[in-house]
Chain A
Amino acid sequence: MTEREHYEAVVVGCGPGGAAAAARLAEHGVETLVLERGVEAGSKNVSGGLIYAEDSAPYTIDDLFDGFREEAAERPVTDYRIHNIAGDKVKTYDLTDLHEHDTDWCDAVLRRQMDSWLEQRVHEKASETGGGVLTNVRVNGLLREGGEIVGVTCDELDPIEADLIVAADGVNSELAREAGLMDWEEPDEWFQGVKAVVDMDPGAVNHRFGIDDDEGVAHLFSGDLFEDVRGGGFLYTNEESLSIGTVFHLDSLVAEQAEPHELLDALLTHPVMAHWIGDGYDEREYAAKLVPDSKKVAHREPYRDRLVLVGDAAGQMQAQGPIIKGMNHAVTAGALAADAFAITRGNADPEAAGRRYAKLLEDSGTMAKLRPKQYDLARTVGERDAVTNVVDRVLESPIGSLALGNRLADRVLERAYNSPFLVSMLPDTRTGYTTVPTVIGEARGKSVRWKNDAEPPSLEERIGELTYDTDVGNPHIELRDDSAEASGAAVYACPVSAEEFGGGCYRTERVKTNGDEETLVSLDTQPCVECGTCAIVADTTWEHPRGGKGVEYREG
């Protein structure tokens, strides 16, 4: 047998986590190979996306990549608001204080542009130490020797050994799962994000939002426009487009049997949007992806043998109330993992780097942000159904509305919303997401009667606009159980499937068996956007497609 290839470090995935890890490893002089399954980094990735540079963070993306803001990012956020909605009533709070808490800067990004730019920089840096970035390569498993993880296996390459393996392969990390560090079981540990990129020329963006070329806005939306589904909406300005999307708790989507694309449409067509997109709505891209909830899943010891997990793969995605921070933590974690390896280089214990990495996550305060103590405390009371119901009932009662509805409450609430401490305490119940905003909107809001003529495309049109390189005859997801009980939830929860829609991934079929009628679920992976939802809510064998295959995002 020929000798196995060996690199000092192999980084799987070239999103912000992988890019930061690889750049920092290269700075330490470590020979680093980065493997990315997309045709180009970013072609598989979606975020909202605001990337934060926190004052308190040990690493920010512009520390690692000179010129990031100028060359890879869109507009900075200079104005930050939340809209509490009840029917057509809207009450807007200025959340700039919350947004600016611990924030050095914050820019909107589009992931194809951002990640492909990072890929170039990483390749340049890694080439200097004998490595580089390879795209179109999917890592499909861990290479083990005597049970110990020593490398990776790929669809496209022979097995590769490494002294450090960084799994920066994002949400639904196949490596994290194979290592036994993460599982894909509980819907309540995830959010699902769905997003539309809307074309708009820079002049129109400036005019409609009252900003200059070097300014941008972030608007958040919560309340009853999403029925009872827990989550919210966002609108961010890019240079020549808007990113508009929704993020919902996956368990809530499943419980309410909600169609993600319809929830997005509810936001797009709400009167509050009329001024911005009400005429001539032109959607460039529809996209979706799961988002882990660090409060519940951020792994405190994200390593095994020579393997370390960074970013979404380790569940390091912080939902700080309405503020979503995943990319910045992925960057921090990636850089810390690299430092940990550099510090422990040459140590015979294969877990030395991993242990040091976990310690750096603690010592830098990163873990405390990802798993806030106050949440763990509040959760024990807040999420108990009985308590929630009582609170909800009180809030919805005339007294509650009155309490929230008076002018004093208004100021208190705006302040409360702006408190990072309080916001991170919000339990994941209807109270925070729906009841409070709805009551605020109802009691304090003004009716918005603007006419919104936006006509979002149908699901079929959205799928039709996406680019796919289908791996014909080699589907990456297989249904293990096609009963409605086991897998029926995917028919609505899958962002490119819908009840009564034959062109999506998941469909239901009425099948007659021995005179009985049964509902069965069928799957066609062709329109799949690889969001990961059905890995959790259906009974499947779920993998990512081979390198370069599947959906290719142009915006992200």
Chain B
Amino acid sequence: MLTKGVPDFSEGAVSFDEDGHLERGKTPTVMNPNDAFALEAALQTRVRHGGHVTGMSMGPPGYASVLQGAMESVYADDSYLLSDRELAASDTWATAITVSAGIEKYREEVADVDLVFAGFKTADGETGQTGPQTCWALEWPIVTHVVALDIDPDERRLRAKRLVEGDVDEIETVEAPLPCVVIADPEFEPTYRKASHRLTHKQLRAETRERAAEHDEYLTTWDHADLNLDPDYIGLDGSPTIVSSVDPIPKAPSEREATMIDPEDGAAMEPVLEELQPFAGGD
């Protein structure tokens, strides 16, 4: 389950400088809100089918708190943080390379992986690219905009309902083999209609509370050397995307003219009433 930290854009928390630039230092980091849907999907899968859930994130050491939060909400078993200076300022491509390297290392050294869950875009970058790029790097299939998910562990296949937005929103049902990357849509609704699922959910919650309180013990940090990554292909140097500048969007000029009229002023109000006449009911 992939997640990242973003600036807390909620009212009262976010801080901008005089030029309207985000002050990252002063703005607290929280889990990317869209990742919550991925967490829900991962949790539902775990509750229904069991298994082991790992949270993974790339970012500065402070993202450990994001992984801790993720552990609390998805009841993950452990966390992996891909973090060092060389990884700083990665764009989505460099991030995908790094994250996929993290997943490969995990498969080689920790355990095999059947599913990777990710949120559909981050609240700060809004590109929506990292998930697809990661699956490309892994050479796995990907299912995006998932609103409902069913897994057949015996057949090693998943069936997903996807929300296809258009003039008319449509729900499309697709199947894919495991392993697979699943990108949950904000419309994703976990369903727990079995008592046994709810009991498992409750059980996991109780266990996780204890784990999350001692998050450090369940956290592994890997740097670029652990991941065997060439610094030229990661971080700023490995990022082909350059954001040259960010411009505030100017407000469109109003196309209508406004005249101020004092409603007490009878003479001035006359033309207004005349204008309104056709809209009045009756004769």
Interface residues of A (CB under 8 A from B): 5, 7, 33, 35, 123, 127, 131-132, 134, 137, 156-158, 160
**Taking the complex as formed, is B202 at the interface, i.e. its CB lies under 8 A from any CB of chain A?**
yes
Q: Of B34-42, B76-84, B85-93, B192-200, which binds chain A?
A: B192-200
Find chain A residues with CB under 8 A from B198 CB: 134, 137, 157
- How many Å lie between the Cα of A33 and that of B198 in the bound state? 11
- How many Å lie between the Cα of A160 and that of B195 in the bound state? 8
* Closest chain A CB from B198 CB (angstroms): 5
* Closest chain A CB from B114 CB (angstroms): 22
* B203 close to A157 (CB less than 8 A): no
- How many Å lie between the Cα of A156 and that of B202 in the bound state? 16
**Chain B CB within 10 Å, residue with most, of A127, A132, A158:** A132
Interface residues of B (CB under 8 A from A): 193-196, 198-199, 202-203
* Closest chain B CB from A154 CB (angstroms): 9
* A5 close to B203 (CB less than 8 A): no
- How many Å lie between the Cα of A137 and that of B194 in the bound state? 11
* A157 close to B193 (CB less than 8 A): yes
* Closest chain B CB from A161 CB (angstroms): 11
Known: A123-B202, A134-B198. 11 other contacts (CB 8 A): A5-B196, A7-B195, A35-B195, A127-B203, A132-B203, A134-B195, A134-B202, A137-B195, A156-B193, A157-B193, A158-B194
The 10 closest A-B pairs by CB, nearest first: A132-B199, A158-B193, A134-B198, A157-B193, A33-B195, A157-B195, A5-B194, A5-B195, A160-B195, A134-B195
* Closest chain A CB from B197 CB (angstroms): 9
- How many Å lie between the Cα of A33 and that of B194 in the bound state? 12
- How many Å lie between the Cα of A158 and that of B192 in the bound state? 9
* Closest chain A CB from B249 CB (angstroms): 36
Closest residue of A by beta carbon distance from B196: A5
- How many Å lie between the Cα of A485 and that of B202 in the bound state? 49
Among A7, A132, A158, A160, contact of B202 (Cβ-Cβ < 8 Å): A132
Q: Which DSSP category, helix, strand, loop or mixed, fits chain B's interface? A: helix
* Closest chain A CB from B45 CB (angstroms): 17
Find chain B residues with CB under 8 A from A127 CB: 199, 203
Find chain B residues with CB under 8 A from A160 CB: 195
**Chain A CB within 10 Å, residue with most, of B193, B195, B196, B202:** B195
* Closest chain A CB from B280 CB (angstroms): 29
Subset of 26 A-B contacts with CB under 8 Å: A5-B194, A5-B195, A5-B196, A7-B195, A33-B195, A33-B199, A35-B195, A123-B202, A127-B199, A127-B203, A131-B199, A132-B199, A132-B202, A132-B203, A134-B195, A134-B199, A134-B202, A137-B195, A137-B198, A156-B193, A157-B193, A157-B194, A157-B195, A157-B198, A158-B193, A160-B195
Closest residue of A by beta carbon distance from B194: A5
Find chain A residues with CB under 8 A from B193 CB: 156-158
- How many Å lie between the Cα of A158 and that of B198 in the bound state? 12
* Closest chain A CB from B105 CB (angstroms): 37
Find chain A residues with CB under 8 A from B194 CB: 5, 157-158
Find chain A residues with CB under 8 A from B199 CB: 33, 127, 131-132, 134
Find chain B residues with CB under 8 A from A158 CB: 193-194
- How many Å lie between the Cα of A317 and that of B195 in the bound state? 31
- How many Å lie between the Cα of A19 and that of B198 in the bound state? 19
- How many Å lie between the Cα of A160 and that of B198 in the bound state? 13
- How many Å lie between the Cα of A22 and that of B202 in the bound state? 18
* Closest chain B CB from A442 CB (angstroms): 59
* Closest chain A CB from B277 CB (angstroms): 34
Closest residue of A by beta carbon distance from B199: A132
Find chain A residues with CB under 8 A from B196 CB: 5
- How many Å lie between the Cα of A143 and that of B84 in the bound state? 59
Find chain B residues with CB under 8 A from A157 CB: 193-195, 198
* Closest chain B CB from A156 CB (angstroms): 7
- How many Å lie between the Cα of A35 and that of B199 in the bound state? 11
Find chain B residues with CB under 8 A from A131 CB: 199
- How many Å lie between the Cα of A35 and that of B202 in the bound state? 13
* Closest chain B CB from A409 CB (angstroms): 60
* Closest chain A CB from B192 CB (angstroms): 8
* Closest chain A CB from B117 CB (angstroms): 24
* Closest chain A CB from B49 CB (angstroms): 14
Closest residue of B by beta carbon distance from A132: B199
Find chain B residues with CB under 8 A from A5 CB: 194-196
- How many Å lie between the Cα of A158 and that of B191 in the bound state? 11
